[in-house]
Amino acid sequence: MLNGKAYSQLDVLCHQIGGRLSGSTQAAKAVEWVKNTLKESATADTVFTQDLLVPHWVRGAKEVAVVNSLKNKKAVTLNACALGGSIGTDGKPLTAEVIEIKNFEELKQLGKEKIEGKIVFYNRRMDPTKINTFNAYGAAVNQRWAGAMQAAPFGAAGILVRSINPAMDDFPHTGAMGYADSIKKIPACAVSTNDADKLSNMLEHDAKLKVSLTMNCEILPDAPSQNVIAEIKGSEFPNEYIIVGGHLDSWDLGEGAHDDGAGVVQAMEVINLFKKTGIKPKHSIRAVIFMNEENGGRGGKKYAELAKERNEKHIAAIESDAGGFSPRGFFMEGDSIKSEKIKSWKNLFEPYEVYNWNNKGSGSDVGHLKDQGVFLLGLMPDTQRYFDVHHTSNDVFKNVNRRELELGAATMAALIYLIDQHGL
C-alpha cells in the first residue's frame, strides 16, 4: 500500500492510450507500453512476447437508432451501440417493425410468420435477486452472444438487445456477439436499460412502431499482435510456473479501466511487489498480459498452445478480470484437494476482508490451461458495481479507486506467495 505502481500505471494506460480493441492502433501502442514499462522498471528478470493474429473489427461512425411511431408522431432517439463483431447496415438505415421477446423459446413460439422482416428486441433483465452479479450476467448474456444467430433463421432483419446491466441508466453496453457461417448475418445492436424500458412501453401503445437503425461497423482482416510476459526466475524450481494475468485489449467505447486495465496493472504489480519485498520465489512467477480476450480469446489460446508445445509445467494460474473493486475472495477451478489446501489459508486473508472462497470458475484466458491439469483461479472483487461500467463509455479511470485496486494486487501476490512456498 506504500510502494504500489498499479494506480499510476493505470492512469497512463487509460489517459495516454485509452480503449484498446484488438487489431487497433491503440492496442498495438498498449503492447509497446507494457513491454517498455516492464523492462524499464527492472522488476522482472526477463520480459518477452508471444506473436499472434487477432480479429480486427471497427465500429466506424457512431450508431443511430431512432424510433418512429405513427401514434406518437415524434421520433425518439435511443442510446445505442453496435455489438462487437456485428455487420453494419451498408451505409443506410435499416427500418423495420419491432417485436419484443424475452428469450429464445418465445422466438420459436412466434415462428417465422411473426418474425420475418422485423427487428427482434431481446428485453430480458439481469436477475436482481442474484447477489453475485456474475451469476445474473451468466443467465442473461446469451441473448447478446447468440441473439442474431437465433433470430436470423426466422427471417429477422436485425436485433436490438437490452444492455446486460443491472442498473437503470443511459449507457449502452457493447460486447462480443457471434455469427455462424451457415446462418445469414444480421446487424446486432444494444440499447441502454433506460431506453429498453422506454421502447417496451412504446410498443405497448403501438405494436406497429418502427426503428431505423444505422450502423457503420465492419470486419477487417486479422491483424498481428502479441501477449507480453514478465518473469521472475524461480530459485528451486525454475521450470515450474505460477502465473497471474489480465487482458490488455478492451472495448473501444471507454478507457478499458476496470475491464481489464485493472487486471493488467495488478498482474504487473505482483511482479513489482515480489521485488519490493525482496522475496525470491521457489517457482518461476509470470505476469502474463493477454491480448484479445474480448472478441476471440486468442491470447489465452496461444499461451496455452505454446505451454503445451514446450512441455511447461504450470502449478497454478490466476486471472484478474472482474474489475478493480475491493477483493472479496477467489474463484477456483480444479482438483478438490488443492482447493481445500487453498481454503485452509482463508484465515490469513480474513483480516483484509477477503473471505469468499466458495465460487467456482477462474478466467477466460487462463481457462485454456485447464486441459493441461493446471489449477485455475480468478480474483473475485466485490461484484455489485462491475456491470454498471462493463463494456461502456463509463469504464474510465476516474471510476477506479486506488486502494481497492492496490488491495486486489496485494491479495493475488499473497496467494501466489503461499502457493509458491507451500505448493498445491
Q: Domain holding 50: CATH number?
A: 3.40.630.10
The answer to whether residue 125 is domain-embedded is yes
Q: Please check whether residue 1 lies inside any domain of the structure.
A: no
Shared domain check, 85 and 212: yes
Q: Do both 298 and 325 map to the same domain?
A: yes
Residue where a domain terminates, one of 216, 250, 279: 216
- Averaged pLDDT, 11-40: 97
Q: Do 210 and 229 share a domain, yes or no? A: no
Residues 237 and 288 occupy one common structural domain: yes
Among candidate residues 216, 242, 266, the one where a domain is terminated: 216
Q: Is the pLDDT of residue 91 over 90?
A: no
Task: Report the domain count for the chain.
Answer: 2
Q: What is the pLDDT of residues 282-293, one digit of tens each?
A: 999 999 999 999
Q: Does residue 266 share a domain with residue 388?
A: yes
Q: Is 31 contained in some domain?
A: yes
- Residues 71, 13, single domain; the answer is no
Domain membership of residue 183 (yes or no) is: yes
Same-domain check for residues 20 and 83: no
The C-alpha cell at 306 is: 505454446
* Averaged confidence pLDDT in the chain: 96
Domain extent, residue 281, equals: 6-58+221-422
Write down the pLDDT at residue 132: 93
Q: Domain ends where: 216, 248, 270?
A: 216
Same-domain status, 186 and 227: no
For the residues 223-250, what does the mean pLDDT come to? Answer: 98
Average pLDDT over residues 321-325: 98
Q: Would you say residue 247 has pLDDT above 80?
A: yes
One domain for residues 94 and 190 = yes
Mean pLDDT for 196-217 is 96
What percentage of the chain has pLDDT greater than the value 70? 100
Is 80 exceeded by the pLDDT of residue 66?
yes
CA distances from 173 to 253, 289, 391, 394 (A): 9, 24, 5, 10
pLDDT confidence tier of residue 2, bands split at 50, 70 and 90? confident
- Residue-wise pLDDT tens digits, 94-133: 999 999 999 999 999 999 999 999 999 999 999 999 999 9
Where does the pLDDT of residue 3 fall: very low under 50, low under 70, confident under 90, or very high at 90 and above?
Answer: confident
End-to-end CA distance of the chain: 28
Assess whether pLDDT exceeds 80 at residue 296: yes
Q: Is residue 235 part of a domain?
A: yes
CATH number at residue 78: 3.50.30.30
Residue 384: the pLDDT is 96
Residues 278 and 335 in one domain: yes
What pTM was computed for the model?
0.96
| 21 located within any domain | yes
Beta bridge partners of 218: 58
- What is residue 397's predicted lDDT score, i.e. its pLDDT? 98
**CA proximity to 178, closest of 344, 48, 295:** 295
Q: Is there a single domain that holds both residue 199 and residue 244?
A: no
pLDDT digit string (tens) for 164-174? 999 999 999 99
Look at residue 138 in the predicted model and tell me its pLDDT. Answer: 94
In this structure, the answer to whether residues 10 and 126 fall within a common structural domain is no
